[in-house]
Structure 1
Amino acid sequence: MEEYTDQERRSLMFACCAAAFITPLLSTMMNLSLDALGHEFSVGSHSLGYVNTAFLLASVIFMVPLARMGDIAGKRKLFIVGVATIAASCMLAPFSTEFWMVVVFWATVGIGAAAVACTSVSMISDVFDRGRRGWAIGINTTCVYIGLAAGPFVGGVLNDLLGWRALFLVILPFAAVAMFMISRFKHEISPCAGGRMSWKGSVLYGASVLLAMGGVINLPAAWAAASLVAGLILLVVFVRQQSLSEDRILDVRLFRNRMFSGSCAAAFLNYASSFAISFFMALYLQSLQGLSATEAGMLMLVQPAIQAFLTPYFGRRSDVVEDKRILPTAGMLIIAAGVASILCAQVDTPMWCVVATLATVGFGFSMFSAPNTSLVLSSVPPHETGDASAMIAVMRQSGMMVSMGIAMTFISVIMGSADNIV
C-alpha cells in the first residue's frame, strides 16, 4: 500500500464526506418538494415517482462503467468530474419550466452521483488500512446520514419560504468544498492504469438495466413484463460476455466469493424493502395528515438523525468484532420490524407511533450500512476495491429503484394514475 500522510488522509476524507453529504441532502429535500412540484406542474404521485427513479436509473446504468473508467483513468479524476457534474446540474435545474426538465436534470445529478459513489468509498478503502477502514467508512456513511437528517428540515423550510428551486442552489457551497479538498490530495489511484475500456460490455450492461428496471417501475403496464424479461436475458448475456472477455468492466468472478455475493445480496434486499418509506412518508404526512413541508421534515428528521449518531459507533465495532456478519444481520432484522410497523399506519395514527417507527428503522440502518460495506471491501483484494465499491453501490441503488417500482405499481393498482393523492 502506498504511504500517505495524515494530512493527505484528512483532505481525502473531507472531500469524500462533503460529496457524500450532497446527494442525500438533495434527495431528501426533493422528497419534501414533491407536493409543490405536483401542484406547479399538475402531475400526480405516479408521475412524481419518476423524479426519484430517473436519478436511480441513471446512477445504476453508469455506476459499473464509471468504476472501470476510474480504475483506468484515475479515481481522483473521476471523483472531480462527478462533483462538477452534480454542481452544473444544480445550477441549471432552477431554470426548469417543464416537469420533464426537472426529471432530466435530476437524472444528470444521478450520473454525477454514480461517479462519486464508485470512487469515494473505494479511495477511502485504498488509503486507510484494515485497522481503520471500518471507522473511516463509518465516518463517510455518517455524512450520508447527516445529509439525510438535514434534508427534510432544510428542504421543508426552503420549500415553504423560497420554493423548490432554491433547494438546488444550497448544494453548490458543499460541491465547492469537495473540489477544494480533493485538490489538496495529490495522489492519483489507478490500479488498472493502461487497461482498456469494454464499450461492448458497457452497452450490454446499460441496456439490460434500462430494460429490466424500466419494466419494474412501469408495472403493471402490459409491456412492462416483456421489458423486464428482456432486461434479465440481456443481463445473462452481459455476465457471459464479461466472463469470456479480457477487456471487462466488471470482474464477475467476484461473485464466486460467498462473503462478497452474500453482502451484496443483503444490501439489495435491504434497500428494496425500505427505500420507498421516505417517498410514502412525505406524501402521507403532507397529503393525509395535513402537515406543512416544514412540519413533515421535522418528523422525518428522526430516522437519519439516529443513523448519523450511531453509525460511527457501529463502524468502529465492525473493525474489532470477530464475526463481521453479526452487525449487518441484526440491523436487517431491526429494519424489518420497523417496516412492518409502517405497514400498519392509518390516517389517525398518533404521531408518536410514526416517530417510534422511524427511530426503529434508523437504528437498524446504523447497524447495517457501514459494517456491511466494510465487510464487502474486506472480502476482496486491494486491486478489486473499485469493482467492489461500485457493486455495493449498484446493489444499493438497484434496491432503491425496485422499492420505488413496487411503490409506483402499488399506487397504479390501488389508485389508477394516483393523480388525486397530491
Structure 2
Amino acid sequence: MSVRPPGECTAPDRRCILVIATVASFLTPFMSSSINIALPVIGAEFATDAVLLGWIQTAYLLASAICLVPFGRLADIHGMKKIFLTGITIFTLSTLLCGLSPTVNALIALRMVQGVGTAMIAVTAVAVLTAVFPAGERGRVLGINVAAVYTGLSMGPFLGGVLTQHLGWRSIFLVTVPLGLIAVALTLRARGEWSTPRDERFDLIGSVVYGTTLLALMYGLTLLPEATGFGLIAVGVVGIFLFLWQESHTESPVLQVRLFFENHVFTFSNIAALINYSATFAVSFLLSLYLQYNRGLDPQAAGLILLAQPVVQALISPAAGRLSDRVEPRIVSSVGMTLSAAGLALLTVLTEETPVPYILISLVVLGTGYALFSSPNTNAIMSSVEKRYYGVASATLATSRQVGMMLSMGIVMMIFSVVIGRVAITPAEHAPLLSSINLAFMLFAALCVVGIFFSLARGRVREDPHRA
C-alpha cells in the first residue's frame, strides 16, 4: 500500500489535523502546570516527603527528556502519524491511571509513562502542521498552536487549583482524559500518514547512551551529598562525552551534534535556552509549596497568584517574536534573560510575611523576561541554520527546553535533600522549606546571570553565514 504524500491532504484533512495538534498542544502544558498546585494536597494524602513530591514532576520530565530525541528520529523514519497516535494513546491511558493511583510510588511510575507519551506528542504535533499545511498558511496554524500551548500553561494553575480544592487532586487527571480520547478518535479518523517515512537506520546505541546519561545525572543530583550521588554524576559526565563521540561517528545519528561544533550562534542560543529553562521552570513548583505551606493559602488562591506569570508570557511573546524580526535577536533575548534574573532575585527574599503584591510584581517581571527571551531565542536558533536543518534545529531546541526543565527540578530536589532531608513536610519543617526555596531562587538568579553571557556571545544572527 502506497504512502499518501503530505501534499495530497485535503482541506478537511488539514482542519482535522489542526484540531488534533491543538488539543494535544493544550493537554501537555496544562498537565505540567496544573499538577504543581496539587502537590501539597498529594503530599498530605500520601504523607510523603519533599523529595518524593519533586519526583512526581521530575519523573514526568525525565521520561520525556530521555524519549524526546529518539522518538523524533523514529517519527522521521516510520512516519509522524504512527508516533503521534501511539503517543496520545499512551498519554490518555496513563493520565486515567494517574488519577486512580493508590500510592505515591505508583503515581511517580505512571507519570513516567505519561512522560513517554508526551515526548511522542511533542516531536510530532508542530512538525506535522509544517508538513501538511502550505507555506502561506503555516504562520496562522503555528500561531494557533502556540496559543494552545500558552492557554494550557495559563489555565493550568487556576483550573488545577479550583479542581484540587473542590473535587480533589485526582480530578486534574480525570477531567483531562475526555480531551485525550477526542484526540485519539480524530487521529484514527484522519487520513494519510502526515509525512513520508524514510528508509534510514535508527541509532539505538546513541539513544541508549543518551537516556542513560540523563538518568545518571538526574538521579545523582537527588542523592547528593552522598557518595553515590557524586558517582552517578561522574557517570553522567562521562556519558556526555561518549554520546558526543558516538553521534560524531555514525552515519545516521539520533542527534545532529555536528551543528554544535560548526555553528556558534546555534550552539550558544541552545545553551542560553538550556540555562533559561533550568532557572525558571521550577518557579511555579516552589511558589506552589511556599504559598500553601508557608502562607497557608488554599490551592485555588495559590493558583490565581501563579496565573500572573503565564498570562504575561502569553501577552508579550507574540510582540517579542515580531520585535526580533526587526531588532537583532540576541539583544532582545539578552534583555529578557536580564529581566528573568531580576525577577528571580526579587524572589530570593521571600519571608512568611511577604506581601502578595510583591510576589505578583516578581512574577510579572519574570514573565516579561521569559517572553522577551523565548521567542527571539527561538528565532535566532531557526535563523542560524539552513532550511534542510529546520527539523534538526527544532528537535534540538525542544531537547534543550526539556533537559533544562528536568535540571531545574533536579536542582530543587538536590537542595531539598540537603536542607530538609527525607522527611514529610509538617509545620515544624516550614522554616527549612522556606530556606530551601530562598536558596533555590539564589542559584536560579545566578544561572540567569551566566545565561546573559551566552545570550550576548552568540553574535549577530543576520550576519551569520549559516543563515538560510
TM-score for the superposition, normalised by structure 1: 0.92
Any idea what the Cα deviations from partners look like across 1:223-259, whole Å, max 9, x if unmatched? 1111011111122111111111113211211212222
Larger Rg: 2
Structure 1 Cα separation of the partners of residues 276 and 96 of structure 2? 33
Q: 1:297 aligns with which of 292, 295, 303?
A: 303
Percent identity over paired residues:
38
Of stretches 360-369 and 273-282 in structure 1, the one that deviates more from structure 2 is 360-369
Any idea what the Cα deviations from partners look like across 1:200-224, whole Å, max 9, x if unmatched? 1111111111112221233222211
- What's the CA shift for 1:191? 6.2
Of stretches 383-392 and 242-251 in structure 1, the one that deviates more from structure 2 is 383-392
Q: Residue in 2 aligned with 1:97?
A: 102
Does residue 336 (structure 1) correspond to residue 341 (structure 2)? The answer is: yes
Does residue 314 (structure 1) correspond to residue 324 (structure 2)? The answer is: no
Q: 1:36 aligns with which of 14, 38, 41?
A: 41
Q: 1:207 aligns with which of 200, 204, 212?
A: 212
* 1:386-397 matched pairs, under 5 angstroms: 386-397=391-402
- What's the CA shift for 1:72? 0.5
SS at match of 1:212: helix
- What's the CA shift for 1:181? 5.2
* 1:222-371 matched pairs, under 5 angstroms: 222-255=227-260, 256-318=262-324, 320-321=325-326, 323-371=328-376
Q: 2:125 aligns with which of 95, 120, 123?
A: 120
Q: Residue in 1 aligned with 2:111?
A: 106
SS at match of 1:95: coil
- Number of matched pairs: 421
- What's the CA shift for 1:41? 1.0
- The one-letter code of the counterpart of 2:300 is T
- The one-letter code of the counterpart of 1:258 is H
Any idea what the Cα deviations from partners look like across 1:354-396, whole Å, max 9, x if unmatched? 1111111112222222332343234334443333222212211
- The one-letter code of the counterpart of 1:362 is G
Structure 2 Cα separation of the partners of residues 303 and 388 of structure 1? 27
Q: Residue in 1 aligned with 2:416?
A: 411
* 1:33-182 matched pairs, under 5 angstroms: 33-126=38-131, 137-179=142-184, 182=187
Q: 2:247 touches 2:256 (CA, 8 Å); kept in 1?
A: yes
- What's the CA shift for 1:108? 0.9
Aligned-pair Cα RMSD in Å: 2.5
Of stretches 368-377 and 206-215 in structure 1, the one that deviates more from structure 2 is 368-377
Structure 2 Cα separation of the partners of residues 276 and 125 of structure 1? 31
Of stretches 283-292 and 2-11 in structure 1, the one that deviates more from structure 2 is 2-11
Does residue 194 (structure 1) correspond to residue 199 (structure 2)? The answer is: yes
- The one-letter code of the counterpart of 1:148 is L
SS at match of 1:325: helix
In structure 2, stretches of 5+ residues that fail to align are 431-468
Q: 2:6 touches 2:194 (CA, 8 Å); kept in 1?
A: no
Q: 1:206 to 1:259 in 2, by over 3 A?
A: same
Structure 1 Cα separation of the partners of residues 193 and 332 of structure 2? 33
Q: Residue in 1 aligned with 2:20?
A: 15
Q: 1:338 to 1:322 in 2, by over 3 A?
A: closer
- What's the CA shift for 1:415? 2.2
In structure 1, stretches of 5+ residues that fail to align are none
Structure 2 Cα separation of the partners of residues 118 and 315 of structure 1? 22
Q: 1:89 touches 1:109 (CA, 8 Å); kept in 2?
A: yes
Q: 2:313 touches 2:367 (CA, 8 Å); kept in 1?
A: yes
Structure 2 Cα separation of the partners of residues 329 and 32 of structure 1? 30
- The one-letter code of the counterpart of 1:143 is A
- What's the CA shift for 1:62? 0.7
TM-score for the superposition, normalised by structure 2: 0.83
Structure with bigger RCO (C-alpha 8 Å, 6+ apart) = 1
Q: Residue in 1 aligned with 2:465?
A: none
Structure 2 Cα separation of the partners of residues 312 and 241 of structure 1? 39
